[in-house]
Structure 1
Amino acid sequence: MGADNDLCNAAKEYVSGFTAGLATVITGHPFDTVKVNLQAHNTKGEVKKYKSAWHCATRILANEGINGLYKGALSSFIGVTFESSIAFGVYSQMKQLLQTGETQSGSPQLQVIIPSAAFGGTLISFILCPSELVKCRMQVPGTDHPTGPLDCALKTIKDEGIKGIFRGGFTTFLRESIGNAVFFSTYEYTRHYMHRKLNSTSPSISHHKKQLIDVGVGIFSGGFAGIAFWSIVLPLDVAKTIIQTSPSKILISRNPFYSLSMIYKRVGLRGCYAGLGPTLLRAFPTNAAAVVAWEFSAKLLGLRHIEQVDDDQKN
Protein backbone atom coordinates (compact mmCIF):
# COMPACT_ATOMS: atom_id res chain seq x y z
CA MET A 1 0.00 0.00 0.00
CA GLY A 2 2.85 2.35 0.83
CA ALA A 3 4.44 1.80 -2.60
CA ASP A 4 1.10 2.39 -4.35
CA ASN A 5 0.62 5.61 -2.38
CA ASP A 6 4.13 6.81 -3.30
CA LEU A 7 3.44 6.05 -6.97
CA CYS A 8 0.13 7.92 -6.81
CA ASN A 9 1.77 10.94 -5.18
CA ALA A 10 4.53 10.90 -7.81
CA ALA A 11 1.92 10.92 -10.59
CA LYS A 12 0.18 13.86 -8.91
CA GLU A 13 3.49 15.77 -8.81
CA TYR A 14 3.87 15.39 -12.57
CA VAL A 15 0.23 16.36 -13.23
CA SER A 16 0.77 19.54 -11.17
CA GLY A 17 3.87 20.34 -13.22
CA PHE A 18 1.90 19.76 -16.42
CA THR A 19 -0.67 22.39 -15.44
CA ALA A 20 2.19 24.81 -14.76
CA GLY A 21 3.39 24.25 -18.32
CA LEU A 22 -0.04 25.00 -19.78
CA ALA A 23 -0.17 28.28 -17.84
CA THR A 24 3.32 29.15 -19.05
CA VAL A 25 2.61 28.75 -22.78
CA ILE A 26 -0.78 30.50 -22.74
CA THR A 27 0.67 33.49 -20.90
CA GLY A 28 4.12 33.77 -22.40
CA HIS A 29 4.31 32.55 -26.01
CA PRO A 30 3.73 35.96 -27.69
CA PHE A 31 6.59 37.43 -25.63
CA ASP A 32 8.75 34.48 -26.66
CA THR A 33 8.05 35.05 -30.35
CA VAL A 34 9.21 38.66 -30.05
CA LYS A 35 12.30 37.58 -28.09
CA VAL A 36 13.31 34.96 -30.67
CA ASN A 37 12.94 37.41 -33.57
CA LEU A 38 15.05 40.02 -31.76
CA GLN A 39 17.73 37.41 -31.05
CA ALA A 40 17.76 36.10 -34.60
CA HIS A 41 17.76 39.47 -36.41
CA ASN A 42 19.40 42.01 -34.06
CA THR A 43 22.68 40.13 -33.54
CA LYS A 44 23.94 40.14 -37.13
CA GLY A 45 25.47 43.60 -37.32
CA GLU A 46 25.31 47.23 -36.31
CA VAL A 47 22.07 47.82 -38.21
CA LYS A 48 19.15 46.41 -36.23
CA LYS A 49 16.06 45.12 -38.04
CA TYR A 50 13.86 45.96 -35.06
CA LYS A 51 14.23 49.16 -33.04
CA SER A 52 12.63 47.69 -29.92
CA ALA A 53 10.48 44.85 -28.64
CA TRP A 54 7.39 46.97 -29.28
CA HIS A 55 8.50 47.65 -32.87
CA CYS A 56 9.05 43.93 -33.39
CA ALA A 57 5.64 43.01 -31.96
CA THR A 58 3.79 45.61 -34.04
CA ARG A 59 5.57 44.47 -37.22
CA ILE A 60 4.56 40.88 -36.58
CA LEU A 61 0.96 41.92 -35.87
CA ALA A 62 0.82 44.10 -38.98
CA ASN A 63 2.21 41.39 -41.26
CA GLU A 64 0.70 38.26 -39.77
CA GLY A 65 -1.94 39.23 -37.23
CA ILE A 66 -2.33 37.71 -33.78
CA ASN A 67 -1.52 34.27 -35.20
CA GLY A 68 1.97 35.55 -35.91
CA LEU A 69 2.62 35.96 -32.20
CA TYR A 70 1.55 32.36 -31.60
CA LYS A 71 3.62 30.80 -34.38
CA GLY A 72 5.24 27.64 -33.06
CA ALA A 73 2.81 27.51 -30.13
CA LEU A 74 1.86 23.88 -30.77
CA SER A 75 5.49 22.88 -30.44
CA SER A 76 5.68 24.91 -27.24
CA PHE A 77 2.57 23.26 -25.82
CA ILE A 78 4.10 19.86 -26.44
CA GLY A 79 7.56 20.75 -25.21
CA VAL A 80 6.82 23.14 -22.33
CA THR A 81 3.98 21.15 -20.76
CA PHE A 82 6.04 17.97 -20.61
CA GLU A 83 9.13 19.97 -19.64
CA SER A 84 7.27 21.57 -16.74
CA SER A 85 5.81 18.22 -15.73
CA ILE A 86 9.29 16.72 -15.48
CA ALA A 87 10.98 19.82 -14.02
CA PHE A 88 8.49 20.35 -11.20
CA GLY A 89 7.88 16.64 -10.66
CA VAL A 90 11.55 15.64 -10.51
CA TYR A 91 12.39 18.65 -8.36
CA SER A 92 9.66 17.88 -5.80
CA GLN A 93 10.52 14.19 -5.61
CA MET A 94 14.29 14.66 -5.44
CA LYS A 95 13.93 17.38 -2.82
CA GLN A 96 11.89 15.08 -0.60
CA LEU A 97 14.36 12.24 -1.20
CA LEU A 98 17.42 14.33 -0.31
CA GLN A 99 15.89 15.97 2.74
CA THR A 100 16.87 14.59 6.11
CA GLY A 101 15.14 15.06 9.45
CA GLU A 102 17.15 18.21 10.01
CA THR A 103 16.21 19.75 6.63
CA GLN A 104 12.45 19.12 6.74
CA SER A 105 11.69 22.05 9.02
CA GLY A 106 10.62 24.26 6.12
CA SER A 107 13.81 26.33 5.88
CA PRO A 108 15.32 26.24 2.35
CA GLN A 109 18.52 24.18 2.03
CA LEU A 110 20.76 24.94 -0.96
CA GLN A 111 22.44 21.52 -0.71
CA VAL A 112 19.02 20.01 -1.43
CA ILE A 113 17.57 22.61 -3.80
CA ILE A 114 20.48 22.98 -6.23
CA PRO A 115 21.09 19.30 -7.12
CA SER A 116 17.33 18.62 -7.29
CA ALA A 117 16.72 21.56 -9.62
CA ALA A 118 19.86 21.00 -11.74
CA PHE A 119 19.03 17.32 -12.25
CA GLY A 120 15.50 18.22 -13.37
CA GLY A 121 16.97 20.82 -15.73
CA THR A 122 19.36 18.27 -17.21
CA LEU A 123 16.52 15.85 -17.97
CA ILE A 124 14.23 18.43 -19.55
CA SER A 125 16.99 19.74 -21.83
CA PHE A 126 16.59 16.56 -23.91
CA ILE A 127 12.91 17.42 -24.48
CA LEU A 128 13.34 21.16 -24.87
CA CYS A 129 16.14 21.09 -27.43
CA PRO A 130 14.20 19.57 -30.37
CA SER A 131 10.99 21.30 -29.29
CA GLU A 132 12.63 24.73 -29.19
CA LEU A 133 14.54 24.14 -32.42
CA VAL A 134 11.22 23.58 -34.22
CA LYS A 135 9.62 26.53 -32.41
CA CYS A 136 12.46 28.94 -33.22
CA ARG A 137 12.61 27.96 -36.88
CA MET A 138 8.88 28.52 -37.23
CA GLN A 139 9.00 31.84 -35.37
CA VAL A 140 11.80 33.34 -37.45
CA PRO A 141 10.84 34.28 -41.04
CA GLY A 142 13.19 32.98 -43.67
CA THR A 143 14.16 29.72 -41.95
CA ASP A 144 12.93 27.53 -44.84
CA HIS A 145 9.25 28.45 -44.26
CA PRO A 146 7.99 25.16 -42.80
CA THR A 147 4.24 24.58 -43.03
CA GLY A 148 3.94 23.15 -39.51
CA PRO A 149 5.91 21.66 -36.60
CA LEU A 150 6.00 18.16 -38.13
CA ASP A 151 7.09 19.50 -41.52
CA CYS A 152 9.83 21.55 -39.82
CA ALA A 153 11.09 18.53 -37.85
CA LEU A 154 11.07 16.26 -40.92
CA LYS A 155 12.91 18.85 -43.04
CA THR A 156 15.54 19.24 -40.33
CA ILE A 157 16.08 15.48 -40.08
CA LYS A 158 16.21 15.16 -43.88
CA ASP A 159 18.77 17.96 -44.26
CA GLU A 160 20.87 17.41 -41.12
CA GLY A 161 20.08 13.92 -39.88
CA ILE A 162 18.91 12.95 -36.39
CA LYS A 163 21.73 15.04 -34.88
CA GLY A 164 20.22 18.10 -36.53
CA ILE A 165 17.07 17.97 -34.43
CA PHE A 166 19.29 18.14 -31.33
CA ARG A 167 21.32 21.11 -32.57
CA GLY A 168 21.97 23.38 -29.59
CA GLY A 169 21.64 20.51 -27.14
CA PHE A 170 24.72 21.39 -25.07
CA THR A 171 23.62 25.03 -24.83
CA THR A 172 20.14 23.97 -23.78
CA PHE A 173 21.65 21.70 -21.11
CA LEU A 174 23.73 24.58 -19.70
CA ARG A 175 20.78 26.97 -19.73
CA GLU A 176 18.38 24.57 -18.04
CA SER A 177 20.66 23.06 -15.40
CA ILE A 178 22.05 26.44 -14.29
CA GLY A 179 18.75 28.28 -14.78
CA ASN A 180 16.64 25.78 -12.83
CA ALA A 181 19.06 25.87 -9.90
CA VAL A 182 18.72 29.68 -9.87
CA PHE A 183 14.93 29.55 -10.34
CA PHE A 184 14.10 27.13 -7.54
CA SER A 185 16.64 28.62 -5.13
CA THR A 186 15.11 32.07 -5.67
CA TYR A 187 11.57 30.69 -5.44
CA GLU A 188 12.19 28.75 -2.21
CA TYR A 189 13.98 31.58 -0.40
CA THR A 190 11.50 34.26 -1.53
CA ARG A 191 8.53 32.11 -0.56
CA HIS A 192 10.04 31.20 2.81
CA TYR A 193 10.89 34.83 3.63
CA MET A 194 7.46 36.15 2.61
CA HIS A 195 5.54 33.51 4.58
CA ARG A 196 7.71 34.07 7.62
CA LYS A 197 7.09 37.82 7.52
CA LEU A 198 3.37 37.48 6.85
CA ASN A 199 2.91 34.87 9.56
CA SER A 200 4.74 37.02 12.11
CA THR A 201 2.56 40.06 11.38
CA SER A 202 -0.72 38.10 11.06
CA PRO A 203 -0.41 34.97 13.21
CA SER A 204 -4.14 34.25 13.15
CA ILE A 205 -5.94 34.59 9.83
CA SER A 206 -9.03 33.02 8.26
CA HIS A 207 -8.80 30.14 5.79
CA HIS A 208 -10.10 32.33 2.95
CA LYS A 209 -7.52 35.04 3.68
CA LYS A 210 -4.77 32.41 3.86
CA GLN A 211 -5.70 31.19 0.38
CA LEU A 212 -5.46 34.73 -1.01
CA ILE A 213 -2.09 35.18 0.72
CA ASP A 214 -0.84 31.90 -0.78
CA VAL A 215 -1.81 33.10 -4.26
CA GLY A 216 -0.07 36.44 -3.68
CA VAL A 217 3.08 34.76 -2.41
CA GLY A 218 3.00 32.37 -5.37
CA ILE A 219 2.68 35.25 -7.83
CA PHE A 220 5.57 37.21 -6.35
CA SER A 221 7.93 34.28 -5.64
CA GLY A 222 7.28 32.71 -9.05
CA GLY A 223 7.61 35.99 -10.94
CA PHE A 224 10.78 37.00 -9.11
CA ALA A 225 12.29 33.52 -9.68
CA GLY A 226 11.53 33.82 -13.40
CA ILE A 227 13.31 37.17 -13.62
CA ALA A 228 16.33 35.70 -11.78
CA PHE A 229 16.38 32.72 -14.18
CA TRP A 230 16.47 34.82 -17.34
CA SER A 231 18.79 37.49 -15.96
CA ILE A 232 21.43 34.78 -15.48
CA VAL A 233 20.98 32.55 -18.55
CA LEU A 234 19.78 34.92 -21.31
CA PRO A 235 23.19 35.00 -23.07
CA LEU A 236 23.04 31.20 -23.33
CA ASP A 237 19.54 31.49 -24.74
CA VAL A 238 20.75 34.00 -27.33
CA ALA A 239 23.51 31.58 -28.35
CA LYS A 240 20.97 28.75 -28.57
CA THR A 241 18.69 30.76 -30.86
CA ILE A 242 21.59 31.63 -33.17
CA ILE A 243 22.79 28.02 -33.24
CA GLN A 244 19.34 26.59 -33.94
CA THR A 245 18.28 29.09 -36.62
CA SER A 246 21.63 29.42 -38.41
CA PRO A 247 21.83 27.73 -41.85
CA SER A 248 25.46 26.87 -41.16
CA LYS A 249 26.26 23.20 -40.54
CA ILE A 250 29.81 23.87 -39.36
CA LEU A 251 30.42 22.23 -35.98
CA ILE A 252 32.14 25.26 -34.41
CA SER A 253 28.97 27.28 -35.01
CA ARG A 254 27.27 25.05 -32.42
CA ASN A 255 29.65 26.13 -29.66
CA PRO A 256 27.74 28.61 -27.45
CA PHE A 257 30.88 30.37 -26.22
CA TYR A 258 32.15 30.81 -29.78
CA SER A 259 28.72 32.17 -30.82
CA LEU A 260 28.68 34.63 -27.91
CA SER A 261 32.24 35.78 -28.63
CA MET A 262 31.27 36.47 -32.27
CA ILE A 263 28.14 38.35 -31.18
CA TYR A 264 30.20 40.40 -28.71
CA LYS A 265 32.72 41.33 -31.44
CA ARG A 266 29.96 42.41 -33.82
CA VAL A 267 27.53 44.31 -31.60
CA GLY A 268 28.96 44.31 -28.08
CA LEU A 269 27.39 43.22 -24.80
CA ARG A 270 23.91 44.35 -25.83
CA GLY A 271 23.94 41.64 -28.49
CA CYS A 272 24.46 38.97 -25.83
CA TYR A 273 21.32 40.25 -24.11
CA ALA A 274 19.20 40.64 -27.25
CA GLY A 275 15.54 40.21 -26.38
CA LEU A 276 16.07 41.22 -22.73
CA GLY A 277 13.02 43.53 -22.68
CA PRO A 278 10.36 41.05 -23.83
CA THR A 279 12.07 38.25 -21.90
CA LEU A 280 11.83 40.07 -18.58
CA LEU A 281 8.32 41.33 -19.41
CA ARG A 282 7.35 37.73 -20.04
CA ALA A 283 9.30 36.25 -17.13
CA PHE A 284 7.23 37.67 -14.31
CA PRO A 285 3.66 36.89 -15.46
CA THR A 286 4.45 33.51 -17.03
CA ASN A 287 6.41 32.16 -14.07
CA ALA A 288 3.93 33.65 -11.61
CA ALA A 289 1.14 31.85 -13.48
CA ALA A 290 3.20 28.63 -13.58
CA VAL A 291 3.93 28.62 -9.83
CA VAL A 292 0.35 29.50 -8.85
CA ALA A 293 -0.98 26.75 -11.15
CA TRP A 294 1.57 24.29 -9.74
CA GLU A 295 0.84 25.08 -6.10
CA PHE A 296 -2.93 25.21 -6.58
CA SER A 297 -3.12 21.91 -8.47
CA ALA A 298 -0.79 20.25 -5.95
CA LYS A 299 -3.08 21.28 -3.10
CA LEU A 300 -6.17 20.30 -5.11
CA LEU A 301 -4.69 16.83 -5.67
CA GLY A 302 -3.98 16.45 -1.96
CA LEU A 303 -0.20 16.80 -1.99
CA ARG A 304 0.72 17.98 1.48
CA HIS A 305 4.34 19.10 1.17
CA ILE A 306 3.48 22.72 0.31
CA GLU A 307 1.00 23.16 3.17
CA GLN A 308 3.39 21.36 5.52
CA VAL A 309 6.11 23.92 4.91
CA ASP A 310 3.69 26.74 5.68
CA ASP A 311 2.49 25.03 8.87
CA ASP A 312 6.05 24.46 10.04
CA GLN A 313 6.85 28.14 9.56
CA LYS A 314 4.03 29.06 11.95
CA ASN A 315 5.36 26.84 14.73
Structure 2
Amino acid sequence: MGTGEAAKEYVAGFAAGLAMVITGHPFDTIKVKLQAHNTTTNQKVYKNALHCASRILIDEGIRGLYRGASSSFIGMSIESSVFFGTYSLMKSFFQGTNVDGQPQLQVILPSAGCSGALISGILCPTELVKVRGIFRGGVATLMREAIGNSVFFGSYEFSRYWMHLHMDSIPGIEKNRILNDIGIGIVSGGFSGIAFWTAVMPIDVAKTIIQTAPDMNSSRNPFQVISLVYRKSGLRGCYAGLGPTLARAFPANAAAIVTWEYTAKLLDIRRE
Protein backbone atom coordinates (compact mmCIF):
# COMPACT_ATOMS: atom_id res chain seq x y z
CA MET A 1 0.00 0.00 0.00
CA GLY A 2 1.46 3.34 -1.09
CA THR A 3 1.71 6.52 0.97
CA GLY A 4 -1.24 8.15 -0.79
CA GLU A 5 -3.42 5.10 -0.34
CA ALA A 6 -2.46 4.89 3.35
CA ALA A 7 -3.34 8.57 3.90
CA LYS A 8 -6.76 7.97 2.37
CA GLU A 9 -7.36 5.11 4.81
CA TYR A 10 -6.70 7.42 7.75
CA VAL A 11 -9.07 10.06 6.30
CA ALA A 12 -11.80 7.43 5.90
CA GLY A 13 -11.26 6.36 9.51
CA PHE A 14 -11.50 9.97 10.69
CA ALA A 15 -14.89 10.33 8.99
CA ALA A 16 -16.06 7.09 10.61
CA GLY A 17 -15.12 8.45 14.04
CA LEU A 18 -17.24 11.58 13.54
CA ALA A 19 -20.23 9.43 12.59
CA MET A 20 -19.72 7.22 15.65
CA VAL A 21 -19.65 10.11 18.15
CA ILE A 22 -22.76 11.77 16.72
CA THR A 23 -24.66 8.49 16.92
CA GLY A 24 -23.30 6.92 20.08
CA HIS A 25 -22.14 9.53 22.62
CA PRO A 26 -25.42 9.76 24.62
CA PHE A 27 -25.37 5.99 25.17
CA ASP A 28 -21.74 6.16 26.30
CA THR A 29 -22.56 8.85 28.86
CA ILE A 30 -25.26 6.64 30.38
CA LYS A 31 -22.93 3.62 30.41
CA VAL A 32 -20.20 5.49 32.31
CA LYS A 33 -22.66 6.77 34.91
CA LEU A 34 -24.10 3.27 35.47
CA GLN A 35 -20.63 1.77 35.83
CA ALA A 36 -19.34 4.50 38.11
CA HIS A 37 -22.34 4.62 40.48
CA ASN A 38 -23.93 1.16 40.41
CA THR A 39 -20.85 -0.99 41.14
CA THR A 40 -19.13 0.76 44.03
CA THR A 41 -21.98 0.74 46.57
CA ASN A 42 -24.51 -1.82 47.74
CA GLN A 43 -27.36 0.56 46.88
CA LYS A 44 -28.07 1.31 43.23
CA VAL A 45 -28.10 4.99 42.31
CA TYR A 46 -29.88 4.29 39.02
CA LYS A 47 -32.53 1.58 38.60
CA ASN A 48 -31.70 1.02 34.94
CA ALA A 49 -30.52 2.78 31.79
CA LEU A 50 -33.86 4.56 31.23
CA HIS A 51 -33.86 5.85 34.81
CA CYS A 52 -30.30 7.09 34.34
CA ALA A 53 -31.17 8.82 31.06
CA SER A 54 -34.25 10.48 32.56
CA ARG A 55 -32.23 11.73 35.55
CA ILE A 56 -29.65 13.25 33.22
CA LEU A 57 -32.32 14.94 31.09
CA ILE A 58 -34.14 16.32 34.16
CA ASP A 59 -30.99 17.55 35.89
CA GLU A 60 -28.89 18.67 32.92
CA GLY A 61 -31.03 18.62 29.80
CA ILE A 62 -29.92 17.27 26.43
CA ARG A 63 -26.48 18.80 26.96
CA GLY A 64 -25.95 16.34 29.79
CA LEU A 65 -26.10 13.41 27.37
CA TYR A 66 -23.36 15.06 25.31
CA ARG A 67 -21.16 16.01 28.26
CA GLY A 68 -17.56 15.56 27.20
CA ALA A 69 -18.59 15.33 23.55
CA SER A 70 -16.09 17.97 22.43
CA SER A 71 -13.20 15.86 23.68
CA SER A 72 -14.91 12.75 22.27
CA PHE A 73 -15.17 14.31 18.82
CA ILE A 74 -11.44 14.96 18.87
CA GLY A 75 -10.45 11.74 20.60
CA MET A 76 -12.82 9.42 18.71
CA SER A 77 -11.98 10.91 15.33
CA ILE A 78 -8.24 10.56 15.91
CA GLU A 79 -8.77 7.13 17.46
CA SER A 80 -10.92 6.00 14.56
CA SER A 81 -8.43 7.35 12.05
CA VAL A 82 -5.61 5.41 13.70
CA PHE A 83 -7.88 2.43 14.32
CA PHE A 84 -9.10 1.89 10.77
CA GLY A 85 -5.98 3.26 9.08
CA THR A 86 -3.57 1.08 11.04
CA TYR A 87 -5.78 -1.97 10.64
CA SER A 88 -5.86 -1.49 6.86
CA LEU A 89 -2.09 -0.99 6.69
CA MET A 90 -1.32 -4.01 8.87
CA LYS A 91 -3.85 -6.12 7.00
CA SER A 92 -2.16 -5.20 3.72
CA PHE A 93 1.23 -6.05 5.24
CA PHE A 94 0.22 -9.45 6.65
CA GLN A 95 -1.87 -10.32 3.62
CA GLY A 96 0.87 -9.52 1.10
CA THR A 97 -0.04 -10.51 -2.44
CA ASN A 98 -2.47 -13.21 -1.30
CA VAL A 99 -5.71 -11.31 -1.96
CA ASP A 100 -8.64 -13.59 -2.78
CA GLY A 101 -11.32 -11.80 -0.74
CA GLN A 102 -11.77 -14.59 1.81
CA PRO A 103 -11.11 -13.48 5.43
CA GLN A 104 -8.08 -15.06 7.10
CA LEU A 105 -7.73 -15.13 10.89
CA GLN A 106 -3.93 -15.15 10.65
CA VAL A 107 -4.25 -11.76 8.95
CA ILE A 108 -7.20 -10.28 10.86
CA LEU A 109 -6.12 -11.06 14.44
CA PRO A 110 -2.59 -9.58 14.38
CA SER A 111 -3.80 -6.58 12.37
CA ALA A 112 -6.65 -5.86 14.77
CA GLY A 113 -4.48 -6.56 17.84
CA CYS A 114 -1.81 -4.10 16.68
CA SER A 115 -4.45 -1.49 15.87
CA GLY A 116 -6.15 -1.92 19.25
CA ALA A 117 -2.89 -1.78 21.19
CA LEU A 118 -1.88 1.41 19.40
CA ILE A 119 -5.14 3.29 19.97
CA SER A 120 -5.23 2.39 23.66
CA GLY A 121 -2.56 5.05 24.15
CA ILE A 122 -4.94 7.60 22.65
CA LEU A 123 -8.10 6.33 24.33
CA CYS A 124 -6.86 6.23 27.90
CA PRO A 125 -6.20 9.99 28.33
CA THR A 126 -9.13 11.12 26.15
CA GLU A 127 -11.65 8.94 28.00
CA LEU A 128 -10.29 10.23 31.28
CA VAL A 129 -11.32 13.76 30.36
CA LYS A 130 -14.84 12.51 31.14
CA VAL A 131 -13.79 10.91 34.42
CA ARG A 132 -10.40 11.76 36.04
CA GLY A 133 -6.64 11.32 35.97
CA ILE A 134 -4.24 10.62 33.10
CA PHE A 135 -3.30 7.09 32.03
CA ARG A 136 -4.99 5.49 35.03
CA GLY A 137 -6.47 2.24 33.77
CA GLY A 138 -3.98 2.06 30.92
CA VAL A 139 -3.50 -1.71 31.22
CA ALA A 140 -7.26 -2.31 31.25
CA THR A 141 -7.67 -0.03 28.23
CA LEU A 142 -4.92 -1.88 26.37
CA MET A 143 -6.54 -5.24 27.12
CA ARG A 144 -9.98 -4.01 26.12
CA GLU A 145 -8.82 -2.60 22.80
CA ALA A 146 -6.48 -5.43 21.78
CA ILE A 147 -8.99 -8.18 22.59
CA GLY A 148 -12.09 -6.26 21.60
CA ASN A 149 -10.80 -5.10 18.23
CA SER A 150 -9.71 -8.62 17.34
CA VAL A 151 -13.29 -9.73 18.01
CA PHE A 152 -14.66 -6.68 16.17
CA PHE A 153 -12.71 -7.05 12.96
CA GLY A 154 -13.03 -10.83 12.97
CA SER A 155 -16.82 -10.51 13.22
CA TYR A 156 -16.89 -7.71 10.64
CA GLU A 157 -14.72 -9.44 8.02
CA PHE A 158 -16.45 -12.81 8.22
CA SER A 159 -20.03 -11.48 8.40
CA ARG A 160 -19.35 -9.05 5.54
CA TYR A 161 -17.79 -11.79 3.42
CA TRP A 162 -20.63 -14.21 4.13
CA MET A 163 -23.35 -11.69 3.29
CA HIS A 164 -21.63 -10.57 0.07
CA LEU A 165 -21.09 -14.19 -0.93
CA HIS A 166 -24.75 -15.07 -0.54
CA MET A 167 -26.23 -11.82 -1.85
CA ASP A 168 -24.06 -11.91 -4.98
CA SER A 169 -25.72 -15.19 -5.90
CA ILE A 170 -29.17 -13.56 -5.99
CA PRO A 171 -30.28 -12.71 -9.57
CA GLY A 172 -30.68 -9.00 -10.28
CA ILE A 173 -28.82 -7.91 -7.15
CA GLU A 174 -26.72 -5.40 -9.13
CA LYS A 175 -29.81 -3.21 -9.59
CA ASN A 176 -29.70 -2.29 -5.90
CA ARG A 177 -25.93 -2.54 -5.29
CA ILE A 178 -25.65 0.71 -3.30
CA LEU A 179 -28.57 -0.11 -1.02
CA ASN A 180 -27.30 -3.67 -0.59
CA ASP A 181 -23.82 -2.45 0.35
CA ILE A 182 -25.31 -0.04 2.89
CA GLY A 183 -27.43 -2.84 4.33
CA ILE A 184 -24.43 -5.15 4.61
CA GLY A 185 -22.43 -2.35 6.23
CA ILE A 186 -25.18 -1.69 8.78
CA VAL A 187 -25.60 -5.36 9.73
CA SER A 188 -21.88 -6.25 9.78
CA GLY A 189 -20.91 -3.07 11.61
CA GLY A 190 -23.72 -3.30 14.16
CA PHE A 191 -23.15 -6.99 14.82
CA SER A 192 -19.40 -6.46 15.22
CA GLY A 193 -19.95 -3.65 17.71
CA ILE A 194 -22.19 -5.90 19.81
CA ALA A 195 -19.58 -8.69 19.64
CA PHE A 196 -16.85 -6.25 20.79
CA TRP A 197 -18.65 -5.13 23.93
CA THR A 198 -20.04 -8.52 24.84
CA ALA A 199 -16.49 -9.87 24.84
CA VAL A 200 -14.80 -7.09 26.84
CA MET A 201 -17.51 -5.59 29.07
CA PRO A 202 -16.04 -6.87 32.38
CA ILE A 203 -12.68 -5.32 31.43
CA ASP A 204 -14.42 -2.04 30.60
CA VAL A 205 -16.19 -2.07 33.98
CA ALA A 206 -12.81 -2.57 35.68
CA LYS A 207 -11.31 0.28 33.63
CA THR A 208 -14.08 2.68 34.65
CA ILE A 209 -13.75 1.76 38.34
CA ILE A 210 -9.96 2.16 38.23
CA GLN A 211 -10.28 5.57 36.59
CA THR A 212 -12.98 6.87 38.94
CA ALA A 213 -11.66 5.43 42.23
CA PRO A 214 -11.27 8.25 44.82
CA ASP A 215 -8.35 6.40 46.44
CA MET A 216 -5.29 6.94 44.26
CA ASN A 217 -3.65 3.90 45.87
CA SER A 218 -6.48 1.50 45.02
CA SER A 219 -5.73 -1.50 42.82
CA ARG A 220 -5.14 -0.88 39.12
CA ASN A 221 -5.05 -4.58 38.31
CA PRO A 222 -8.13 -5.20 36.13
CA PHE A 223 -8.36 -8.86 37.17
CA GLN A 224 -8.41 -7.94 40.86
CA VAL A 225 -11.05 -5.29 40.23
CA ILE A 226 -13.23 -7.69 38.23
CA SER A 227 -12.92 -10.26 41.03
CA LEU A 228 -13.94 -7.64 43.61
CA VAL A 229 -16.93 -6.55 41.54
CA TYR A 230 -18.01 -10.17 41.07
CA ARG A 231 -17.85 -10.86 44.83
CA LYS A 232 -19.82 -7.70 45.59
CA SER A 233 -22.36 -7.59 42.75
CA GLY A 234 -22.13 -10.92 40.94
CA LEU A 235 -22.10 -11.40 37.19
CA ARG A 236 -24.58 -8.57 36.78
CA GLY A 237 -22.06 -6.17 38.28
CA CYS A 238 -19.40 -7.31 35.81
CA TYR A 239 -21.77 -6.39 33.00
CA ALA A 240 -23.06 -3.13 34.50
CA GLY A 241 -24.06 -0.76 31.71
CA LEU A 242 -24.34 -3.56 29.13
CA GLY A 243 -27.87 -2.51 28.09
CA PRO A 244 -27.06 1.06 26.97
CA THR A 245 -23.68 -0.11 25.66
CA LEU A 246 -25.27 -2.64 23.30
CA ALA A 247 -28.01 -0.14 22.43
CA ARG A 248 -25.21 2.24 21.43
CA ALA A 249 -22.99 -0.39 19.83
CA PHE A 250 -25.26 -1.32 16.95
CA PRO A 251 -26.16 2.13 15.56
CA ALA A 252 -22.78 3.71 16.35
CA ASN A 253 -20.70 0.98 14.76
CA ALA A 254 -23.12 0.58 11.86
CA ALA A 255 -22.76 4.31 11.16
CA ALA A 256 -18.97 4.07 11.48
CA ILE A 257 -18.64 1.10 9.10
CA VAL A 258 -20.97 2.54 6.46
CA THR A 259 -19.16 5.90 6.63
CA TRP A 260 -15.75 4.19 6.50
CA GLU A 261 -16.66 2.04 3.50
CA TYR A 262 -18.28 4.83 1.50
CA THR A 263 -15.62 7.41 2.29
CA ALA A 264 -13.12 4.83 1.04
CA LYS A 265 -15.11 4.51 -2.19
CA LEU A 266 -15.28 8.28 -2.61
CA LEU A 267 -11.50 8.45 -2.13
CA ASP A 268 -11.07 5.58 -4.61
CA ILE A 269 -9.33 3.31 -2.13
CA ARG A 270 -8.67 -0.09 -3.69
CA ARG A 271 -9.92 -3.00 -1.60
CA GLU A 272 -10.75 -6.62 -2.34
TM-score for the superposition, normalised by structure 2: 0.97
CA distance in 1, matches of 2:173, 2:236: 49
Please point out which of 244, 247, 267 is paired with 2:211.
244
CA distance in 2, matches of 1:41, 1:8: 46
CA distance in 1, matches of 2:184, 2:267: 20
Partner of 1:113: 108
Partner of 2:246: 280
CA distance in 1, matches of 2:2, 2:40: 51
Higher Cα Rg, which structure: 1
Whether the 8 Å contact between 1:128 and 1:172 is mirrored in structure 2 is yes
Partner of 2:40: 44
CA distance in 1, matches of 2:204, 2:70: 20
1:145-224 alignment to 2 at 5 Å?
A: 156=133, 165-202=134-171, 205-206=174-175, 209-224=176-191
CA distance in 2, matches of 1:257, 1:202: 52
Alignment partner of 1:297 is 2:263: yes
TM-score for the superposition, normalised by structure 1: 0.84
Quote the offset at 1:96 in angstroms: 1.0
Partner of 1:88: 84
Quote the offset at 1:304 in angstroms: 1.6
Per the alignment, do residues 204 and 78 of structure 1 end up closer, same or farther by CA in structure 2, a change over 3 Å counting? closer
**Structure 1 SS opposite 2:129:** helix
CA distance in 2, matches of 1:115, 1:255: 25
What residue identity is the alignment partner of 2:207? K
Quote the offset at 1:203 in angstroms: 5.9
Unaligned runs of 5+ in 2: none
**Structure 1 SS opposite 2:72:** helix
Quote the offset at 1:45 in angstroms: 3.0
**Structure 2 SS opposite 1:201:** coil
Quote the offset at 1:202 in angstroms: 2.8
Partner of 1:74: 70
Matched residue count: 272
> For each residue in 1:144-182, what CA deviation from the matched residue of structure 2 results, as whole angstroms up to 9, or x when unmatched?
xxxxxxxxxxxx4xxxxxxxx111100000000000000
Unaligned runs of 5+ in 1: 138-155, 157-164, 310-315
Quote the offset at 1:204 in angstroms: 5.4
Which range moves more in the overlay, 92-101 or 169-178?
Answer: 92-101
What residue identity is the alignment partner of 2:227? S
Which range moves more in the overlay, 169-178 or 196-205?
Answer: 196-205
Whether the 8 Å contact between 1:91 and 1:117 is mirrored in structure 2 is yes
Quote the offset at 1:77 in angstroms: 1.0
**Structure 1 SS opposite 2:40:** coil
Amino-acid identity (%): 61
1:126-137 alignment to 2 at 5 Å?
A: 126-137=121-132
Quote the offset at 1:14 in angstroms: 0.1
Whether the 8 Å contact between 1:17 and 1:294 is mirrored in structure 2 is yes
Please point out which of 1, 4, 8 is paired with 2:4.
8
Instruction: Provide the aligned C-alpha RMSD in A.
Output: 1.2
